[in-house]
Amino acid sequence: MSIMKGSDAAKAVVRRNTEEVQSRGNFEVFDELFADDFVDHTPQPNMTPDKAGVRQLYRYIRDAFPDFHAEIHWQLSDGDRVTTYKTYYGTHEGPLLGVAPTHRKIHFESVDVMRVQNGKITDHWGVGNLFSLMQQLNALPISNGANGSESNESDFRLLINGKLVKGASTLDVINPATGRIFMTAPRADQAQLEQAVASAKAAFGTWSAQPLRQRAALLIKLAEALEAKQEDFARLLTQEQGKPLQQALWEIGYSIGALRYFATLDLPIEVLKEDATQKVIRQRKALGVVAAITPWNLPILLMIIKVAPALLAGNTVVVKPAPTTPLTTLKFGELCARILPAGVVNIIVDQNDLGAALTGHADVAKITFTGSTATGKKVMTSAAETLKRLTLELGGNDAAIVLEDVDPKGVAPKIFAAATFISGQACIGIKRLYVHDSIYDAVCDELGRLARETVVGDGLEPGTQMGPIQNKTQFEKVKGFLEDARQNGKIVAGGNVLERDGYFIEPTIVRDIPDNDRLVREEQFGPVLPVLRYSDLNDVISRVNDSEFGLGGSVWSSDRDHAFEVATRINSGTVWVNKHLDTGPDIPHAGAKQSGVGVEQGRDGLEEFTQATIINIAK
**Are 406 and 357 within one domain?**
no
* Same domain as 388, residue 277: yes
Question: Does residue 424 sit in the same domain as residue 306?
Answer: no
Is residue 482 domain-resident?
yes
For residue 483, the one-letter residue type is E
Please tell me the distance from the alpha carbon of residue 379 to that of residue 373, in angstroms, as a whole number. Answer: 10
Given the DSSP bridges, would you call strands 528-534 and 432-436 parallel, antiparallel or unpaired? parallel
In the three-class reduction of DSSP (H, G, I as helix; E, B as strand; rest coil), residue 186 is classed as strand
What is the mean pLDDT of the segment spanning 318-338? 98
Tell me: pLDDT of 608 over 50: yes
pLDDT category of residue 501 using cuts at 50, 70 and 90: very high
What's the DSSP call for residue 456?
A: B
> Taking Cα atoms as reference points, which of 131, 96, 135 lies closest to residue 110?
131
Determine which helix (DSSP H) or strand (DSSP E) holds 171, and give its type and residue range. Answer: strand 169-175
Annotation marks residue 453 as catalytic: no
On whether both 116 and 205 belong to a single domain, the answer is no
Same domain flag for 561 and 495: yes
> What's the mean pLDDT in 512-530?
97
The pLDDT of residue 155: 83
Same domain? 329 vs 194: yes
Q: Is the pLDDT of residue 511 over 80?
A: yes
Residues in the chain: 619
User: 215: part of which helix (H) or strand (E)?
Assistant: helix 212-228
Per-residue pLDDT averaged across 353-377, rounded? 97
The verdict on residue 1 lying in a domain is: no
- 50 neighbors 57 (Cβ within 8 angstroms): no
Q: Looking at the domain assignment, is residue 297 inside a domain?
A: yes
Q: Which of 393, 446, 523, 600 is catalytic?
A: 393
- C-alpha–C-alpha distance, residues 101 and 158, integer Å: 45
Q: What is the CATH number of the domain that holds 380?
A: 3.40.605.10
Q: How far, in Å, CA of 163 to CA of 186, rounded?
A: 14
Residue 75 predicted with pLDDT over 50: no
**Lowest model confidence (mean pLDDT) among 115-119, 153-157, 207-211, 471-475:** 115-119
Helix, coil or strand: residue 134 = helix
More confident residue, 193 or 56: 193
Please report whether residue 157 resides in a domain: no
How high does pLDDT run on average in the chain? Answer: 82
CATH number of the domain within which 501 lies: 3.40.309.10
Domain count for the chain: 3
Q: Are both 390 and 403 inside the same structural domain?
A: no
- DSSP assigned state of 368: E
Picking from 361, 363, 307, the residue whose alpha carbon sits closest to that of residue 336 is 307
DSSP string, 381-418: HHHGGGT-EEEEE-----EEEE-TTS-HHHHHHHHHHH
User: Which distant-in-sequence residues (6+ apart) come within 8 Å of 222 by Cβ?
Assistant: 259, 335, 336, 339, 340
Residue 42 has pLDDT above 50, yes or no: no
Q: How confident is the model at residue 135 (pLDDT cuts 50, 70, 90)?
A: very low
Question: In 436-512, where does DSSP find H-type helix?
Answer: 440-453, 472-488
Q: How many CB atoms lie within 10 A of CB 152?
A: 20
How far is Cα 523 from Cα 419, in angstroms, rounded to an integer? 12
Give the three-state DSSP class for 615. strand
Is the pLDDT at 298 greater than 70? The verdict is yes
Q: How confident is the model at residue 118 (pLDDT cuts 50, 70, 90)?
A: low
- Residue 299's nearest CA partner among 185, 168, 426 is 426
- Greatest alpha-carbon span in the chain: 105
Instruction: Render 277-313 in DSSP notation, one character per residue.
Output: SEEEEEEEEE-SEEEEE--SSSHHHHHHHHHHHHHHT
Active-site residue, selected from the candidate residues 109, 251, 336, 427? 427
pLDDT at site 473: 96
The C-alpha angle 238, 244, 250, rounded to 5 degrees, equals: 85
The single-letter DSSP state of residue 350 is -
The strand order across the sheet containing 490-493 reads 490-493, 508-511, 528-534, 432-436, 399-402, 552-556, 574-577
Please give the pLDDT value at position 389. 97
Q: What's the CA gap between 380 and 388, in Å, rounded?
A: 9
* pLDDT tens-digit series, residues 409-463: 999 999 999 999 999 999 999 999 999 999 999 999 999 999 999 999 999 999 9
Average of pLDDT values for 56-71? 49
Q: Are residues 259 and 188 in the same domain?
A: yes
Nearest to 308, CA basis, from 378, 233, 236, 216: 216
**Domain end point (choices 80, 104, 137):** 137
Picking from 131, 153, 38, 135, the residue whose alpha carbon sits closest to that of residue 85 is 38
Q: Report the DSSP beta bridge partners of residue 618.
A: 278
What pLDDT band is residue 285 in, cutting at 50, 70 and 90?
very high
**Is 421 a domain residue?**
yes
Say how far apart CA 457 and CA 249 lie, in whole Å.
Answer: 17
Q: Are the CB atoms for 311 and 346 separated by under 8 Å?
A: no
Residue 256 identity (one-letter amino acid): I
Q: Are residues 387 and 428 in the same domain?
A: no
Residue 271 has pLDDT above 50, yes or no: yes
Cα gap 561→548, rounded to integer Å: 28
Q: If pLDDT is split at 50, 70 and 90, which confidence band does 154 have?
A: low
Higher pLDDT, residue 564 or 116: 564
Cα dist from 604 to 157, 164, 263, 266, 309, whole Å: 33, 33, 15, 12, 10
d(CA 416, CA 574): 19
The answer to whether 469 and 422 have CB atoms below 8 angstroms apart is no
Q: What is the pLDDT of residue 338?
A: 96
Q: Confirm if 354 and 193 have CB atoms less than 8 A apart.
A: yes
Range of the domain at 129: 8-137
| Residues whose CB falls within 8 Å of the CB of residue 145, separated by 6 or more in sequence, listed in order | none
Residue 444 known to be catalytic:
no
Is residue 145 in some structural domain? Answer: no
Same domain? 173 vs 268: yes
Q: Is residue 385 part of a domain?
A: yes
Same-domain status, 190 and 325: yes
Examine residue 151 and state whether it is found in any structural domain, yes or no.
no
Position 251 confidence tier, pLDDT thresholds 50, 70, 90: very high
Average pLDDT over residues 470-485: 96
Cα(373)–Cα(496) distance, integer angstroms: 28
Q: What angle do helix axes 245-263 and 212-228 make, rounded to 10 degrees? A: 160
Residues 365 and 490 occupy one common structural domain: no
